[in-house]
Amino acid sequence: MAHSYRILSRLFLIFFVLLTACERQGNVLSIAYSHHNPENVYIGGAGGRFYKSTDGGNVFVKSETGTSYNIAAIAVNPSLSSVIYAGVYGDSVYRSVDSGLTWNMASRGLDDNVGTQAVNAVLVDPKESRRVYIGTNHGVYLTTDGGGQWSSVNTGLANRFVIALAFHPKNRKILVAGTNGGLFITINGTRQWRRVPSTSREWAVNTVQFDPMHPGTIYVGTNQGIFKSMDLGQTWQTRNKGLSSLFISSITIDREDSTQVYAGNGDGVYQSQDGGDTWQLLANTPKSVLTVSLYPKKPGTLFAGTMKGLYKSTDAGKNWTHLNLK
């Protein structure tokens, strides 16, 4: 058991060393879209770099965020798209109220350990947009006033290093948190968390996604590959057939056809056309993928954030274009 934890710790460390070491221009760690205007695409990169496109990701303009640390997560307010949150690895939470032109730190209520170390995930409530959750190196924090004040909501979570957060598509009281010690779920709006399954304590969960068409189905990308549950986390199946490398950094699911799933890792972008049962590495994929995301406005369009910049595909990953981030 001690040996497995040492291995887990080393793998988890490698992932975040990659994030913190990516200080040269062009490394892309996070991608987000405007709910009201999906032509607006937002990119977070190393060294506090933030980019905005207003034409669907063809041309990007850089904004100054005020931080020199890595932007690990971006979330757009679904009710007021001019409000954007950025989770910064090595710093704190930043908020913009003018669509990313200017930024201010929004860290009141975060303890010193959070404020100076890591905010890895940001999640805005789809119905009550002033409720925002963040995943940090000290668990999950919640604000109910749009970032004015944060409070810890870690009962059952024990201040674990939270890497990923996701809402259930139909019930926003249900959230899942991917951590360095497994996957946790709450069914009562973060009043209580529990690990699912108990054996997931050996997973470092880097990404978690609900199937948008089958809300009881969850995919997690971990240091041990991809796992899938079809009963809201009660039972899990390994889904690694076709994967050459098992360290998974990102998963995205097609909203119109959820049998189409994409996963990113050091090899590049993998595609599954059967709900994760089998995977194929896309032939012309960029390598060293840190995040992969399906563009909601145009079916078959993907963005891949890599250690060598941002790539876009308009044909379901068959071909990719390297985009210029000035």
pLDDT score, position 116: 53
pLDDT score, position 11: 44
Joined together, the tokens standing for residue 70 give: 């890595």
Mean pLDDT of 31-46: 94
305 Cβ contact partners less than 8 Å away, ≥ 6 residues apart: 27, 28, 29, 30, 31, 43, 45, 289, 290, 291, 292, 293
Q: pLDDT tens digits for 90-127?
A: 888 999 999 999 999 999 988 776 655 789 999 999 99
- How many other β-carbons are positioned within 10 Å of the β-carbon of residue 231? 10
Name beta bridge partners: 251: 263
319 lies in some domain: yes
44 lies in some domain: no
Lowest mean pLDDT among 17-31, 41-55, 133-147, 270-284: 17-31
Question: Strands 119-124 and 84-89, how do they pair?
Answer: unpaired
270 lies in some domain: yes
Phi, psi at 274, each rounded to 5°? -135, 40
Name beta bridge partners: 135: 121, 140
Distance separating alpha carbons of residues 306 and 97, to the nearest angstrom = 28
93 lies in some domain: no
Residue with tokens 């971990």: 222
Q: pLDDT tens digits for 132-166?
A: 999 999 999 999 999 999 999 999 998 899 999 99
Q: 11: alpha, beta or left, given left = phi > 0 and alpha = psi -120 to 50? A: alpha
Average per-residue pLDDT in the chain?
90
Mean pLDDT of 30-46: 94
Element (H, E) at 82: none
- Please report, rounded to a whole number, the percentage of residues in the chain having pLDDT higher than 90: 80
pLDDT score, position 24: 52
Name beta bridge partners: 136: 119, 139
255 lies in some domain: yes
CATH number at residue 278: 2.40.10.500
Mean pLDDT of 237-248: 98
Model confidence pTM above 0.95: no
112 lies in some domain: no
pLDDT at 264 over 90: yes
Q: pLDDT tens digits for 290-326?
A: 999 999 999 999 999 999 999 999 999 999 999 999 7
* DSSP three-state, residue 72: strand
305 lies in some domain: yes
290 lies in some domain: yes
When computed from its CA atoms, the radius of gyration of the chain, rounded to whole angstroms, is 18
SS3 assignment for 273-286: CCCCCCCEECCCCC
Mean pLDDT of 23-42: 86
Domain of residue 279: give its range: 247-326
* DSSP three-state, residue 12: helix
Binning pLDDT at 50, 70 and 90, where does residue 198 land?
confident
pLDDT score, position 10: 40
**Distant-in-sequence contacts of 238-243, Cβ < 8 A, 24+ apart:** 239/272, 239/276, 239/277, 239/279, 240/279, 241/277, 241/278, 241/279, 242/270, 242/272, 242/278, 242/279, 242/280, 242/281, 243/267, 243/270, 243/279
The number of distinct structural domains making up the chain is 1
pLDDT at 1 over 60: no
Residue with tokens 């887990």: 8
- Please report, rounded to a whole number, the percentage of residues in the chain having pLDDT higher than 70: 90
Evaluated on CA atoms 187, 192, 195, 197, the torsion sign reads negative
pLDDT score, position 133: 98
pLDDT at 75 over 60: yes
